[in-house]
Structure 1
């Protein structure tokens, strides 16, 4: 049995980092971890081939080789997914699909032969057994959430790692919080399930043995969902693992209450974490109450961000405008918070309602869902009718993006975070492409770019004040170039 695993293309978004990747000679930010894990769950006798359309072309020869095509996708990949399904269907291939997009919108993909939904550890073995017995069903759903202690190591041999800027790994699934607009708990539950430290170390060993020394993203939706397990088991194990290793810097996602635990922050830094994405959403208490972001309420989030920065981890922040309780003042308040916090990577989006969330169900009942969920929170679109009115929301959103990603405002935040951050304990070795990235940045940003004055001022300032932070200053400058290009494409 020849199995072709296909990962659809990401559009150009903030998270694609497409313009930034060109500076370091990479094709995509991350490989398809879900498909690589699914591949490891398939029978050893089956022949496997993986095509990530973000880094390689899907050829007619690939399709002719295959007996079945396995697809996994997120909502933001919908357009590419539909095109791939049509192409596979035209070639007479049996199509098997799973992942967040198909789990949330299974009725929208009638050309798919078999929908293996929810978590593959539960539903994929049932499909394989039925397939080998000649009686596969249309849809496979899980009754509960699997124990991920038996989840296998992803099949890294199926990809060319040097095409990617970062690799990824998963420690836990599920989140103890239940935000109104988030579909994580509907997909993975509210009780975080974790892998054992030995599992995580085995996956890291598999990555390290390939020669990888770059960034590794822990893709957990809330890495600190089980603080006790982290502090007593995983982080001490990671600290020990790093003792004879070079490179392999980690970053992840967490909730803002990370700032409440100095011991946890210190352990994460010692374990090699240098960045964390946090859903801040709004500085407005009414908006936080509305979306049930209770853990962000009644706290000084500006101070919390500073605490995390000073621990040695950069905060990347998610922000939302368009809550029912938002007034026109929210746009300037978001700008002020972002500038004062020093959060360089500020992902601001208009509120959207993903299928499977309480927000979606409520707004469907109010007849306020007016379009498909795009899955891209920074594309200047929303799928709901906002209380404040769509025109006012769009104008306010554009005003935020124009300001925070103007060269002057952006480079101010870069200097702010460089002042606060500790020198990182773990660093990625400078390879040839990253060495060349400095000269590419000097040409593109320092000579050809509109931000040339801000760029050179930052480099001089960094050399004078924080010389060991120069690589980060250049990296953040390149990110800013990417963000501005995306804003020009979708928003301005």
Structure 2
């Protein structure tokens, strides 16, 4: 029996960490480490496993003393914490095995790791385990293709305390049919959309439900609607049937803008329990969309598409990028106008970055325009490329966007725009003690102390009169706004806010 310690490195305080929002609901992290939990479920019986998620608890000396080997998985944004943890493990004489997106994309950056089990663990982990059994493990394990998800096990949820997290996770598919040049999803998972069976998905949901989870569940697929025919024929009907006898779980996911072209699909998603989708808008400019090969967004009325989705009962959160070669100083105001008019409350605006393995990285590297590593944080006001408009112009324009859209006045305007257009989702999270407590915390923190207090009370009054059923959503969005403003102030403008 070998003692195996699985470690999830820390995420810095970022746009998607929701650190300032989590304080309102008494949670420590947004999501559990789904990848490590899935890997843990693949391990044979001779391993005794523990998991330390550094986002919810400290990595203690006792943990390292217990372990005989360490597995670590990370994304690019966790790079600094991963480096630190690897150093601590090596100082204790522990063998370190690493995998996940960070190590798969940049294996040469981690010579100190003993064994790199890269690409999809379904393909490379068995080879490593066999060689380990024979006392002949290699330095690097790579896959020659992509796995079939039919054999992917249910994550080992027994390794985490669910109450520490705001949301649970599930993965239905991998891969994306599109070819956006800045995105590394297809480099990691390919163009062909590979899916689990509905029975697999329901089994995972049943495991979460049996463990007592009643709340948000994030389908982490990079494009949930990559195979629309399969969704409509198989998975969504299964989810609708599942929800008939199981209440309290609300789903959200990521999708492409062509969701707006399929009213039947939107209706089925809402009936199946979805109430939010993240969509990569990227830019309101046709030239920028053409440059980055975002073909699915071209030649359409993007504002109308967003409204269509929101009117169907799916809130749209959106990703935006500035810094394309064809962008000009006028681009920044067009982003502001689009975001405000669309009612996209959660607008993730980032400066263009070129991740290794992408078409963009290859092109700019040939032009000697790649400078350093990506931060992994889409909303920290940094870039690893030399922009054509000049870095100072890009930074100034980016800061103008963020200062505008996350000022209390303009943020709360967008919340009202969303609520006016938002259809009625079928699924609702239960109003438990923590959510009730969160409301009273917002009254104090945002309604009395915060500089947004007039906007806060006006929104609550407006919602009670115009959209009373949407009051819980309105309160949730006020909490998000507080987090986003704090992130802008600290990470983008470099000021410590006491508000």
TM-score (norm 2): 0.98
Shift of the alpha carbon at 1:272? 0.1
Partners of 1:470 and 1:357 in 2: CA distance: 42
Shift of the alpha carbon at 1:424? 2.1
Moved over 2 A (4+): none
Q: Which moved more, 1:23-32 or 1:414-423?
A: 414-423
State the SS of the aligned residue for 2:349: strand
Shift of the alpha carbon at 1:432? 1.3
Equivalent residue, structure 2, for 1:311:
312
Shift of the alpha carbon at 1:389? 0.2
Q: Any idea what the Cα deviations from partners look like across 1:320-348, whole Å, max 9, x if unmatched?
A: 00000101100000000000000000000
Does residue 209 of structure 2 align to residue 208 of structure 1?
yes
Shift of the alpha carbon at 1:397? 0.1
TM-score (norm 1): 1.00
Q: Any idea what the Cα deviations from partners look like across 1:93-130, whole Å, max 9, x if unmatched?
A: 00000000000110111110000000000000000000
Q: Any idea what the Cα deviations from partners look like across 1:199-220, whole Å, max 9, x if unmatched?
A: 0000000000001001000000
Q: Any idea what the Cα deviations from partners look like across 1:49-97, whole Å, max 9, x if unmatched?
A: 0000000110000000001100000000001000000000100000000
Query: What do you get for the CA RMSD once the two structures are aligned?
Result: 0.5
Partners of 1:420 and 1:310 in 2: CA distance: 5
Does residue 250 of structure 2 align to residue 249 of structure 1?
yes
Shift of the alpha carbon at 1:243? 0.1
Partners of 1:418 and 1:289 in 2: CA distance: 32
Equivalent residue, structure 2, for 1:385:
386
Partners of 1:385 and 1:442 in 2: CA distance: 45
The 5-angstrom pairing of residues 231-380 of structure 1 reads 231-380=232-381
Equivalent residue, structure 2, for 1:77:
78
Equivalent residue, structure 1, for 2:497:
none
State the SS of the aligned residue for 1:436: helix
Does residue 160 of structure 2 align to residue 159 of structure 1?
yes
Partners of 2:45 and 2:338 in 1: CA distance: 52
Partners of 1:81 and 1:442 in 2: CA distance: 38
State the SS of the aligned residue for 1:445: helix
Equivalent residue, structure 2, for 1:88:
89
State the SS of the aligned residue for 2:16: helix
Equivalent residue, structure 2, for 1:394:
395
Partners of 2:213 and 2:56 in 1: CA distance: 18
Partners of 1:373 and 1:424 in 2: CA distance: 37
State the SS of the aligned residue for 1:446: helix
Partners of 1:468 and 1:15 in 2: CA distance: 27
Equivalent residue, structure 2, for 1:40:
41
Shift of the alpha carbon at 1:27? 0.3
Shift of the alpha carbon at 1:423? 2.6
Partners of 1:48 and 1:209 in 2: CA distance: 22
Does residue 30 of structure 2 align to residue 29 of structure 1?
yes
Equivalent residue, structure 1, for 2:477:
476
State the SS of the aligned residue for 1:479: helix
Shift of the alpha carbon at 1:464? 0.5
Unaligned stretches of 5+ residues in structure 1: none
Equivalent residues, number = 492
Equivalent residue, structure 2, for 1:403:
404
Partners of 1:48 and 1:107 in 2: CA distance: 28
